[in-house]
Amino acid sequence: MKQKNWLRITLPLVLAVLVAACGGKEKKNNSVGKKGQTSPLSVDTSLQSRLKAFSAQPRVKGRFGLYVYDLTADKPVTAVDIDHAQPVASCTKLLSGVAALHKLGAGYTYRTTLYTRGHVEKDTLRGDIMLMAGLDPLLRAEDLTRFTRHLRSMGIRYIDGGCWLNLKLKEKVKAEAHWYPWDLSFSKYGILFKGPDAITKAMKAALAADGIHMKGDCRVGAPMVRPHSNEWKGRFRYLHPVSGVTYFMWKNSSNTKATSLLYTLGNAVRPRNNGSADVLAKAGADYVRTFLRDTLQLHDKGLVVHDGCGLCTYNHLSPHALVAVLTFAYHHKPIYRQLMRNLAIAGVDGTLRGLLSDPRLKGLIHGKTGTLSHPYGISSLAGYCKGADGHDLCFACLNSEMSVLDAHVLQRKLCLTLVGANLKKK
Protein backbone atom coordinates (compact mmCIF):
# COMPACT_ATOMS: atom_id res chain seq x y z
CA MET A 1 0.00 0.00 0.00
CA LYS A 2 2.80 2.37 0.78
CA GLN A 3 4.33 1.65 -2.63
CA LYS A 4 1.03 2.40 -4.40
CA ASN A 5 0.65 5.67 -2.49
CA TRP A 6 4.20 6.64 -3.44
CA LEU A 7 3.41 6.04 -7.13
CA ARG A 8 0.21 8.11 -6.87
CA ILE A 9 2.24 11.02 -5.54
CA THR A 10 5.41 10.81 -7.69
CA LEU A 11 3.92 10.04 -11.14
CA PRO A 12 1.95 13.30 -11.43
CA LEU A 13 5.06 15.22 -10.35
CA VAL A 14 7.20 13.54 -13.01
CA LEU A 15 4.58 14.22 -15.68
CA ALA A 16 4.35 17.84 -14.61
CA VAL A 17 8.12 18.26 -14.93
CA LEU A 18 8.10 16.67 -18.39
CA VAL A 19 5.24 18.88 -19.60
CA ALA A 20 7.01 21.97 -18.26
CA ALA A 21 10.21 20.98 -19.99
CA CYS A 22 8.46 20.44 -23.31
CA GLY A 23 6.62 23.71 -22.97
CA GLY A 24 9.86 25.54 -22.23
CA LYS A 25 11.48 24.07 -25.33
CA GLU A 26 8.56 25.10 -27.50
CA LYS A 27 8.68 28.62 -26.13
CA LYS A 28 12.39 28.80 -26.97
CA ASN A 29 11.75 27.75 -30.57
CA ASN A 30 8.97 30.28 -30.94
CA SER A 31 11.37 33.05 -29.97
CA VAL A 32 13.33 32.21 -33.13
CA GLY A 33 10.28 32.77 -35.25
CA LYS A 34 7.58 30.88 -37.07
CA LYS A 35 8.62 27.55 -38.55
CA GLY A 36 12.12 27.94 -37.09
CA GLN A 37 12.98 30.97 -39.21
CA THR A 38 15.45 33.45 -37.75
CA SER A 39 14.84 37.17 -37.71
CA PRO A 40 15.94 38.92 -40.93
CA LEU A 41 19.41 40.43 -40.81
CA SER A 42 19.89 44.15 -41.27
CA VAL A 43 22.53 46.04 -43.22
CA ASP A 44 25.16 48.26 -41.62
CA THR A 45 23.50 51.68 -41.27
CA SER A 46 26.89 53.31 -40.67
CA LEU A 47 28.08 51.97 -44.03
CA GLN A 48 24.89 53.22 -45.67
CA SER A 49 25.53 56.69 -44.30
CA ARG A 50 29.14 56.72 -45.50
CA LEU A 51 28.14 55.54 -48.98
CA LYS A 52 25.36 58.13 -49.16
CA ALA A 53 27.89 60.86 -48.33
CA PHE A 54 30.35 59.45 -50.87
CA SER A 55 27.72 59.42 -53.64
CA ALA A 56 26.65 62.99 -52.85
CA GLN A 57 30.18 64.41 -53.11
CA PRO A 58 30.94 66.61 -56.14
CA ARG A 59 32.70 64.67 -58.91
CA VAL A 60 33.97 65.31 -62.40
CA LYS A 61 31.49 65.30 -65.24
CA GLY A 62 30.68 61.86 -66.62
CA ARG A 63 28.45 58.82 -66.16
CA PHE A 64 28.47 57.18 -62.76
CA GLY A 65 26.69 54.11 -61.40
CA LEU A 66 27.13 52.37 -58.05
CA TYR A 67 25.56 49.34 -56.43
CA VAL A 68 26.66 47.84 -53.11
CA TYR A 69 24.89 44.69 -51.95
CA ASP A 70 24.99 42.91 -48.58
CA LEU A 71 25.27 39.22 -49.50
CA THR A 72 24.86 38.01 -45.92
CA ALA A 73 21.67 39.97 -45.28
CA ASP A 74 20.59 39.57 -48.92
CA LYS A 75 19.72 43.26 -49.14
CA PRO A 76 21.00 46.29 -51.06
CA VAL A 77 23.11 48.77 -49.13
CA THR A 78 23.18 51.62 -51.64
CA ALA A 79 22.11 52.07 -55.25
CA VAL A 80 22.89 54.92 -57.64
CA ASP A 81 21.65 54.66 -61.24
CA ILE A 82 22.01 50.87 -61.05
CA ASP A 83 19.93 50.00 -64.13
CA HIS A 84 21.72 52.36 -66.51
CA ALA A 85 23.89 50.16 -68.79
CA GLN A 86 27.34 51.50 -69.62
CA PRO A 87 30.45 50.19 -71.37
CA VAL A 88 32.35 48.22 -68.72
CA ALA A 89 35.50 47.13 -70.60
CA SER A 90 37.19 44.16 -68.91
CA CYS A 91 34.54 43.76 -66.22
CA THR A 92 32.82 41.84 -69.04
CA LYS A 93 35.25 39.05 -68.05
CA LEU A 94 33.33 38.60 -64.80
CA LEU A 95 30.16 37.80 -66.70
CA SER A 96 31.73 35.60 -69.38
CA GLY A 97 33.90 33.75 -66.84
CA VAL A 98 31.05 32.99 -64.42
CA ALA A 99 28.78 31.94 -67.31
CA ALA A 100 31.50 29.61 -68.64
CA LEU A 101 32.12 28.02 -65.23
CA HIS A 102 28.37 27.54 -64.80
CA LYS A 103 28.20 25.65 -68.11
CA LEU A 104 31.54 23.81 -68.04
CA GLY A 105 31.84 23.30 -64.28
CA ALA A 106 34.36 24.96 -61.99
CA GLY A 107 36.44 21.78 -62.09
CA TYR A 108 36.61 21.60 -65.89
CA THR A 109 39.92 20.28 -67.23
CA TYR A 110 41.49 20.81 -70.66
CA ARG A 111 42.93 17.61 -72.17
CA THR A 112 45.43 17.20 -75.00
CA THR A 113 46.30 13.58 -75.78
CA LEU A 114 48.92 11.85 -77.92
CA TYR A 115 47.89 8.59 -79.60
CA THR A 116 49.78 6.07 -81.69
CA ARG A 117 48.63 3.32 -83.99
CA GLY A 118 50.66 0.50 -85.45
CA HIS A 119 53.50 -1.33 -83.74
CA VAL A 120 57.08 -0.61 -82.79
CA GLU A 121 59.92 -2.51 -84.46
CA LYS A 122 63.20 -1.76 -82.73
CA ASP A 123 63.34 2.05 -82.94
CA THR A 124 60.64 2.53 -85.62
CA LEU A 125 56.92 3.09 -85.23
CA ARG A 126 55.26 1.29 -88.12
CA GLY A 127 52.23 3.54 -88.12
CA ASP A 128 51.06 7.05 -87.25
CA ILE A 129 50.77 9.40 -84.33
CA MET A 130 47.79 11.64 -83.56
CA LEU A 131 47.50 14.76 -81.44
CA MET A 132 43.92 15.03 -80.21
CA ALA A 133 43.63 18.60 -79.02
CA GLY A 134 40.84 20.49 -77.34
CA LEU A 135 41.01 24.25 -76.86
CA ASP A 136 43.60 24.52 -74.10
CA PRO A 137 44.67 28.20 -74.00
CA LEU A 138 47.69 27.36 -71.84
CA LEU A 139 49.30 24.88 -74.26
CA ARG A 140 52.37 26.52 -75.81
CA ALA A 141 54.48 25.45 -78.77
CA GLU A 142 57.32 24.40 -76.46
CA ASP A 143 54.93 22.16 -74.52
CA LEU A 144 54.65 19.82 -77.52
CA THR A 145 58.07 18.46 -76.56
CA ARG A 146 56.30 16.74 -73.65
CA PHE A 147 54.59 14.51 -76.20
CA THR A 148 57.66 13.87 -78.33
CA ARG A 149 59.77 13.07 -75.28
CA HIS A 150 57.30 10.36 -74.40
CA LEU A 151 57.71 8.86 -77.87
CA ARG A 152 61.45 8.91 -77.35
CA SER A 153 61.04 7.21 -73.97
CA MET A 154 59.26 4.40 -75.84
CA GLY A 155 62.43 3.96 -77.88
CA ILE A 156 60.95 5.54 -81.01
CA ARG A 157 63.42 7.33 -83.28
CA TYR A 158 61.56 6.97 -86.59
CA ILE A 159 57.89 7.25 -87.53
CA ASP A 160 57.10 5.36 -90.71
CA GLY A 161 53.79 7.18 -91.13
CA GLY A 162 52.63 10.71 -90.39
CA CYS A 163 50.92 12.85 -87.76
CA TRP A 164 47.19 13.54 -87.56
CA LEU A 165 46.15 16.82 -85.97
CA ASN A 166 42.66 16.31 -84.56
CA LEU A 167 41.71 19.92 -83.77
CA LYS A 168 38.60 21.60 -82.38
CA LEU A 169 39.61 24.93 -83.93
CA LYS A 170 40.62 24.47 -87.55
CA GLU A 171 41.63 28.05 -88.26
CA LYS A 172 43.40 30.93 -86.60
CA VAL A 173 41.49 32.88 -83.97
CA LYS A 174 39.96 36.08 -85.35
CA ALA A 175 39.64 39.60 -84.01
CA GLU A 176 36.12 40.84 -83.37
CA ALA A 177 34.78 43.49 -85.72
CA HIS A 178 34.74 46.24 -83.06
CA TRP A 179 38.21 45.65 -81.59
CA TYR A 180 40.95 48.17 -82.07
CA PRO A 181 43.91 46.52 -83.85
CA TRP A 182 46.42 47.40 -81.12
CA ASP A 183 44.25 45.92 -78.36
CA LEU A 184 45.12 42.25 -78.82
CA SER A 185 48.48 40.56 -79.28
CA PHE A 186 47.94 37.34 -81.24
CA SER A 187 51.40 36.16 -80.22
CA LYS A 188 50.09 35.68 -76.68
CA TYR A 189 47.52 33.08 -77.72
CA GLY A 190 48.19 29.42 -76.99
CA ILE A 191 49.45 27.33 -79.92
CA LEU A 192 46.02 25.74 -80.51
CA PHE A 193 44.59 29.17 -81.39
CA LYS A 194 47.22 30.08 -83.99
CA GLY A 195 45.95 27.86 -86.78
CA PRO A 196 46.93 24.47 -88.28
CA ASP A 197 50.02 25.83 -90.03
CA ALA A 198 51.49 27.07 -86.75
CA ILE A 199 50.62 23.80 -84.98
CA THR A 200 52.17 21.76 -87.80
CA LYS A 201 55.36 23.81 -87.62
CA ALA A 202 55.52 23.47 -83.83
CA MET A 203 54.90 19.71 -83.92
CA LYS A 204 57.63 19.12 -86.51
CA ALA A 205 60.03 21.27 -84.50
CA ALA A 206 59.27 19.28 -81.34
CA LEU A 207 59.91 15.96 -83.12
CA ALA A 208 63.17 17.26 -84.57
CA ALA A 209 64.30 18.60 -81.21
CA ASP A 210 63.98 15.11 -79.74
CA GLY A 211 65.73 13.48 -82.67
CA ILE A 212 62.63 11.78 -84.10
CA HIS A 213 62.35 11.57 -87.89
CA MET A 214 58.88 11.34 -89.42
CA LYS A 215 58.49 9.99 -92.94
CA GLY A 216 55.05 11.43 -93.62
CA ASP A 217 53.55 14.86 -93.04
CA CYS A 218 51.07 16.41 -90.62
CA ARG A 219 47.44 16.27 -91.70
CA VAL A 220 44.50 18.09 -90.14
CA GLY A 221 41.43 15.99 -89.45
CA ALA A 222 40.13 12.96 -87.63
CA PRO A 223 41.34 9.66 -89.11
CA MET A 224 38.74 7.00 -89.77
CA VAL A 225 38.63 4.53 -86.88
CA ARG A 226 36.72 1.27 -86.99
CA PRO A 227 34.00 1.08 -84.29
CA HIS A 228 35.04 -0.81 -81.12
CA SER A 229 38.59 -1.22 -82.39
CA ASN A 230 41.75 -0.70 -80.37
CA GLU A 231 43.53 0.77 -83.34
CA TRP A 232 44.68 3.90 -81.51
CA LYS A 233 46.36 3.77 -78.11
CA GLY A 234 46.60 6.74 -75.79
CA ARG A 235 50.22 7.36 -74.85
CA PHE A 236 50.44 10.70 -73.08
CA ARG A 237 47.89 13.21 -71.79
CA TYR A 238 48.56 16.83 -70.88
CA LEU A 239 46.05 18.42 -68.47
CA HIS A 240 45.30 22.01 -67.50
CA PRO A 241 42.48 23.00 -65.07
CA VAL A 242 40.23 25.84 -66.17
CA SER A 243 41.27 27.70 -63.01
CA GLY A 244 44.63 28.33 -64.68
CA VAL A 245 42.77 30.22 -67.41
CA THR A 246 40.52 32.23 -65.10
CA TYR A 247 43.61 33.15 -63.06
CA PHE A 248 45.14 35.10 -65.97
CA MET A 249 41.74 36.25 -67.19
CA TRP A 250 40.60 37.77 -63.88
CA LYS A 251 43.76 38.57 -61.95
CA ASN A 252 45.77 39.99 -64.87
CA SER A 253 42.84 40.77 -67.20
CA SER A 254 44.21 38.66 -70.08
CA ASN A 255 42.15 39.31 -73.21
CA THR A 256 43.54 36.26 -75.01
CA LYS A 257 42.60 33.89 -72.17
CA ALA A 258 39.10 35.39 -71.95
CA THR A 259 38.60 34.99 -75.70
CA SER A 260 39.93 31.43 -75.57
CA LEU A 261 37.50 30.56 -72.75
CA LEU A 262 34.65 31.98 -74.84
CA TYR A 263 35.64 29.60 -77.65
CA THR A 264 35.69 26.72 -75.15
CA LEU A 265 32.22 27.73 -74.01
CA GLY A 266 31.05 27.92 -77.62
CA ASN A 267 32.34 24.42 -78.32
CA ALA A 268 30.54 23.09 -75.23
CA VAL A 269 27.27 24.72 -76.29
CA ARG A 270 27.62 23.63 -79.91
CA PRO A 271 29.87 20.53 -79.97
CA ARG A 272 28.93 19.71 -83.55
CA ASN A 273 30.59 22.54 -85.44
CA ASN A 274 32.98 22.96 -88.33
CA GLY A 275 35.87 24.28 -86.25
CA SER A 276 35.26 27.85 -87.41
CA ALA A 277 36.48 30.66 -85.18
CA ASP A 278 33.37 32.69 -86.01
CA VAL A 279 31.03 29.82 -85.10
CA LEU A 280 32.73 29.17 -81.75
CA ALA A 281 32.85 32.88 -80.84
CA LYS A 282 29.18 33.38 -81.74
CA ALA A 283 28.02 30.27 -79.86
CA GLY A 284 29.95 31.40 -76.78
CA ALA A 285 28.56 34.93 -76.86
CA ASP A 286 25.03 33.61 -77.45
CA TYR A 287 25.31 31.49 -74.31
CA VAL A 288 26.53 34.46 -72.23
CA ARG A 289 23.47 36.41 -73.35
CA THR A 290 21.26 33.42 -72.52
CA PHE A 291 22.88 33.21 -69.09
CA LEU A 292 22.02 36.87 -68.50
CA ARG A 293 18.44 36.43 -69.60
CA ASP A 294 17.44 32.96 -68.36
CA THR A 295 19.72 32.26 -65.40
CA LEU A 296 20.09 35.76 -63.94
CA GLN A 297 16.61 36.82 -65.10
CA LEU A 298 17.86 40.12 -66.51
CA HIS A 299 15.74 41.22 -69.45
CA ASP A 300 16.92 44.80 -69.92
CA LYS A 301 17.50 45.33 -73.65
CA GLY A 302 20.25 47.80 -72.81
CA LEU A 303 22.50 44.93 -71.72
CA VAL A 304 24.72 44.08 -74.71
CA VAL A 305 27.42 41.41 -75.03
CA HIS A 306 29.58 41.04 -78.14
CA ASP A 307 32.67 39.26 -76.80
CA GLY A 308 34.08 37.61 -73.71
CA CYS A 309 36.95 39.96 -72.92
CA GLY A 310 35.41 43.45 -73.03
CA LEU A 311 37.50 44.97 -75.83
CA CYS A 312 34.35 45.79 -77.75
CA THR A 313 33.15 49.22 -76.66
CA TYR A 314 29.59 48.19 -77.54
CA ASN A 315 29.49 45.79 -74.59
CA HIS A 316 27.15 47.39 -72.07
CA LEU A 317 26.33 46.16 -68.57
CA SER A 318 24.74 47.89 -65.61
CA PRO A 319 25.78 47.91 -61.94
CA HIS A 320 22.69 45.79 -61.31
CA ALA A 321 23.84 43.19 -63.86
CA LEU A 322 27.38 42.94 -62.46
CA VAL A 323 26.10 42.60 -58.90
CA ALA A 324 23.73 39.89 -60.13
CA VAL A 325 26.73 38.02 -61.57
CA LEU A 326 28.66 38.36 -58.30
CA THR A 327 25.63 37.32 -56.24
CA PHE A 328 25.04 34.25 -58.42
CA ALA A 329 28.69 33.25 -58.02
CA TYR A 330 28.54 33.79 -54.25
CA HIS A 331 25.71 31.28 -53.96
CA HIS A 332 27.52 28.74 -56.18
CA LYS A 333 30.46 28.00 -53.91
CA PRO A 334 32.81 26.24 -56.39
CA ILE A 335 32.60 29.30 -58.65
CA TYR A 336 32.91 31.68 -55.70
CA ARG A 337 36.01 29.92 -54.38
CA GLN A 338 37.62 30.22 -57.80
CA LEU A 339 36.75 33.91 -57.96
CA MET A 340 38.24 34.60 -54.54
CA ARG A 341 41.46 32.81 -55.51
CA ASN A 342 41.76 34.37 -58.94
CA LEU A 343 40.45 37.92 -58.62
CA ALA A 344 43.06 40.63 -58.14
CA ILE A 345 43.69 41.54 -54.50
CA ALA A 346 44.09 45.15 -53.39
CA GLY A 347 47.73 46.11 -52.91
CA VAL A 348 48.86 42.50 -53.38
CA ASP A 349 48.66 41.33 -57.00
CA GLY A 350 47.07 41.64 -60.41
CA THR A 351 45.46 44.82 -61.64
CA LEU A 352 44.65 45.96 -58.08
CA ARG A 353 48.23 45.89 -56.86
CA GLY A 354 48.89 49.42 -58.10
CA LEU A 355 45.35 50.80 -58.39
CA LEU A 356 44.55 50.11 -54.72
CA SER A 357 48.05 50.40 -53.29
CA ASP A 358 46.88 52.37 -50.24
CA PRO A 359 48.08 50.28 -47.24
CA ARG A 360 44.67 50.67 -45.60
CA LEU A 361 43.17 48.61 -48.45
CA LYS A 362 45.81 45.90 -48.67
CA GLY A 363 44.19 42.47 -48.91
CA LEU A 364 40.68 43.76 -48.21
CA ILE A 365 39.27 44.03 -51.74
CA HIS A 366 39.02 41.16 -54.25
CA GLY A 367 37.99 42.66 -57.55
CA LYS A 368 38.07 43.00 -61.31
CA THR A 369 38.97 46.18 -63.15
CA GLY A 370 37.85 47.34 -66.56
CA THR A 371 39.70 50.10 -68.40
CA LEU A 372 39.63 51.50 -71.94
CA SER A 373 40.96 54.94 -72.71
CA HIS A 374 39.46 55.10 -76.20
CA PRO A 375 37.32 56.35 -77.80
CA TYR A 376 36.57 58.00 -74.46
CA GLY A 377 37.32 57.14 -70.85
CA ILE A 378 35.80 53.88 -69.62
CA SER A 379 36.62 52.53 -66.18
CA SER A 380 34.83 50.02 -63.97
CA LEU A 381 35.54 48.13 -60.77
CA ALA A 382 33.53 45.28 -59.27
CA GLY A 383 34.20 42.68 -56.63
CA TYR A 384 33.88 41.55 -53.02
CA CYS A 385 34.90 42.78 -49.59
CA LYS A 386 34.04 42.22 -45.92
CA GLY A 387 31.91 44.71 -44.04
CA ALA A 388 32.63 46.05 -40.55
CA ASP A 389 29.76 43.93 -39.21
CA GLY A 390 31.35 40.79 -40.68
CA HIS A 391 28.90 40.63 -43.56
CA ASP A 392 30.05 39.70 -47.07
CA LEU A 393 29.55 42.55 -49.54
CA CYS A 394 29.76 42.81 -53.30
CA PHE A 395 29.85 46.00 -55.33
CA ALA A 396 30.00 47.42 -58.84
CA CYS A 397 31.15 50.94 -59.69
CA LEU A 398 30.90 52.08 -63.32
CA ASN A 399 32.38 55.22 -64.81
CA SER A 400 32.41 56.33 -68.42
CA GLU A 401 32.74 59.48 -70.48
CA MET A 402 35.31 60.76 -68.01
CA SER A 403 39.05 60.61 -67.59
CA VAL A 404 40.23 57.15 -66.49
CA LEU A 405 42.50 58.85 -63.96
CA ASP A 406 39.52 60.68 -62.43
CA ALA A 407 37.56 57.43 -62.36
CA HIS A 408 40.40 55.70 -60.52
CA VAL A 409 40.34 58.42 -57.85
CA LEU A 410 36.61 57.77 -57.34
CA GLN A 411 37.15 54.02 -57.13
CA ARG A 412 39.88 54.35 -54.52
CA LYS A 413 37.64 56.61 -52.42
CA LEU A 414 34.81 54.10 -52.76
CA CYS A 415 36.97 51.23 -51.53
CA LEU A 416 38.21 53.29 -48.57
CA THR A 417 34.57 54.04 -47.79
CA LEU A 418 33.66 50.35 -47.94
CA VAL A 419 36.35 49.32 -45.49
CA GLY A 420 36.34 52.51 -43.41
CA ALA A 421 34.54 50.94 -40.46
CA ASN A 422 37.05 48.09 -40.41
CA LEU A 423 39.86 50.62 -40.17
CA LYS A 424 38.26 52.30 -37.14
CA LYS A 425 38.21 48.97 -35.33
CA LYS A 426 41.96 48.47 -35.78
- The top-level CATH class assigned to 45-54+61-107+245-419 is alpha beta
Q: pLDDT, tens digit, for every residue of 93-142?
A: 999 999 999 999 999 999 999 999 999 999 999 999 999 999 999 999 99
Query: Is residue 17 scored above 70 in pLDDT?
Result: no
Residues in the chain: 426
C-alpha 268 chain-centroid distance: 16
Does pLDDT of 389 surpass 90? Answer: no
For residues 330 and 332, give the distance between their C-alpha atoms in angstroms, rounded to a whole number: 6
Q: Which residues contact 342 (CB under 8 A, 6 or more apart)?
A: 243, 246, 247, 249, 250, 251
**What are the b/e assignments for 231-244, b being 16+ CB within 10 Å?**
ebeebbebebebbb
Which residues lie across from 4 on neighbouring strands? Answer: none
Neighbour tally for 102: CB within 10 Å: 18
Judge whether 45-54+61-107+245-419 and 109-241 match in fold. Answer: no
Tell me, what's the pLDDT at 175? 85
Sequence ranges of the domains in the chain:
45-54+61-107+245-419, 109-241
Per-residue model confidence as pLDDT tens digits over 260-301:
999 999 999 999 999 999 999 999 999 999 999 999 999 999
Residue 23 has pLDDT above 70, yes or no: no
Give this prediction's pTM: 0.87
Query: From 3.50.80.20, 2.60.120.620, 3.40.50.2300, 2.60.410.10, which CATH number describes the 109-241 domain?
Result: 3.50.80.20
For the chain, the 3-state helix, strand and coil shares in percent, each to the nearest 5, are: 45, 20, 35
